[in-house]
Structures are given as C-alpha cells and as structure tokens.
Structure 1
Amino acid sequence: MANLSNCPNCDKLFVLNAFRDVCDDCFKEEERQFETVYAFIRKRENRTATLAEVVDGTGVPEKQILKFIKKGRIQLSRFPSLGYPCEKCGTPIKQGKLCDNCTSTLRSQLENLQKEEERQKEIELRERTRTYHTKK
C-alpha cells in the first residue's frame, strides 16, 4: 500500500517511497541544483572552494549542499576544502557527526559517568554486606 505524504518543501501531496523524500517537482529542482553545484566544484579553479564559496558561486542554499554531502552524492575526499559543520560545535568536518574535539570530550564524559556508576555500585555492595550485631 502506498504511503501519502506532504512534500517538506512545497507541501504538495505525493507518494512517499524509499528513494525520494520530496515530490517529483521538488526532486527535479534538487537534481538541477545538484548538477549546478557539481559542475561548479568540478572546475579546476573551484576544487578548493569552501562551502560558503560554493553557495556564493552557485546560488544553491547551504542546507541543500549539506544534504548532498550527507547523502554521499558529493564525496569530500575529492574536494579538500569542503566540509559540513559538527552537530555540536559547528566546526567544519569531513566525516561522522562530531568533530574530534567533541568526540573526545563526549568519550571522557562517558568514561567519568561509567566510573561514577561503578563507584556507586561498590558503595551499595559494601552497605549491603555489612553485618550488624545486637546485644540480647
């Protein structure tokens, strides 16, 4: 059974499928924008362009270019100056969702949390194993 959905761009009703998350008209517009962006960054003089320079040079919104990058349609290994922002601090990155600094900070916080939980378990265990003596 087909799933109907509203297009997030134009709010038009369309049949949702696994390959497209927008209606046919918006998909065609996205493809046109992708061709514009890809033609721009393939030129020798634009291969080292940053994200802001690509936005200025093509007129395609940054959000759309980031969508192309995240879907893997633009491979960052070929374009050394392109990247997308870290989801926590906004530093430009080329892979994953977090930059190295945020990743290491998150790891250290998780390690500290784990150590604290272990310490709490040890305290609980010690308190449960205490023996109380009473006088009769």
Structure 2
Amino acid sequence: MKLENCPRCGKLFAKGIHDLCPACMKDIDKEYDKCAAFLKDNRQCSMQELSDGTGVSVRQITRFIREGRISIVKLPNLAYACESCGAPIRDNTLCVECRNRLAAEMKSQMNESRKPPAKQDEHRFGGYQIGDRMHDRP
C-alpha cells in the first residue's frame, strides 16, 4: 500500500481503492445520506435549495449526480452547471450549445490540418537579394 495525503483534509493515509482517507469517505457518505433524505420530501427543489437545505456544497452534489449516486430523472428542477458556460444542464458535462461549438471548432481544425502546406515562392528567400537588384538599375 502507498501512503498519501488526503486531498480533502491533508491527513496521511494508506491509499486503497479510494483517493480520500476513510474519515473523509465517511463524511461524504453522510453528505450523500443528507441529500437523499432531503430529496425524498423535496422532489421539486433546485440545486441551490438542495445545497442550502443539507449544507452540502453544489460541487459535491454535482459529483453525486455525475457518479450516478443521485439520479435526477424524477427531479425536474435539479440541474448543474455546464463546465464551459455555466448554463444549467441535466446530463453530460457541456450544454448542447457548447458541445456544438466544440464540435465545429474541432471540425475546422481537422480541415485546416488536412490542407496541403502553402507553396512558397521559390525565388524569394525573405531577405534582400543583391543579384535581383543589379538588373533593375539604369
């Protein structure tokens, strides 16, 4: 086993399957339990209302949703922020607009990389050429 510092609390622990120490894992499990209990009675709540009602950060609730611990299928007002623009979304990490913009940018970059390199003028070397100027003088 490898000893590491817990990224959440800083305590040294023997890293196993989790990246956090056992105490932090228990705290996160308690936060999940608070969220699950709150959602049983408040299915219409928003992300901020869930956070305010449980004391669990929006960031941690978003992790629960992305990990699949909290399903938002039957929670119509629960959404989290798009990682690019911050718009409310219910799945993935980017909203539809940001995904489309990213796809268009990637397509544009692919098209640019497929173009043959621009042909350079063989007679120009980018500097002053004495030989060419000699013929132009009277």
Letter in 1 for 2:32: F
AA partner of residue 2 (structure 2):
N
Q: Does 1:51 align with 2:47?
A: yes
The alignment's TM-score, normalised by the length of structure 1, stands at 0.79
Structure 2 CA distance for aligned equivalents of residues 21 and 84 of structure 1: 24
Cα RMSD of the aligned pairs, angstroms, is 1.7
Q: After TM superposition, what 4+ stretches of structure 1 lie above 6 angstroms from structure 2?
A: none
**Residue of structure 2 equivalent to 1:24:** 22
**Which amino acid is the alignment partner of residue 14 of structure 2?**
V
2:6 alignment counterpart:
7
What is the match of residue 65 of structure 1?
A: 61
Trace 1:1-136 onto structure 2 (pairs within 5 A).
2-18=1-17, 20-43=18-41, 46-118=42-114, 120-121=115-116, 127=119
Residue identity matched to 1:78: K
Q: Deviations over 1:93-117 (max 9, x none)?
A: 1221111000111111122222223
Aligned pair count reads 120
Give the aligned residue type for 1:24: P
Question: Which has the larger share of helix?
Answer: 1
* Structure of larger gyration radius: 2
Gaps of 5+ in 2: 121-138
Q: 2: CA distance between counterparts of 1:27 and 1:42?
A: 23
Shift of 1:27: 1.2
CA distance in 2, matches of 1:56, 1:48: 14
Q: CA deviation at 1:17?
A: 1.9
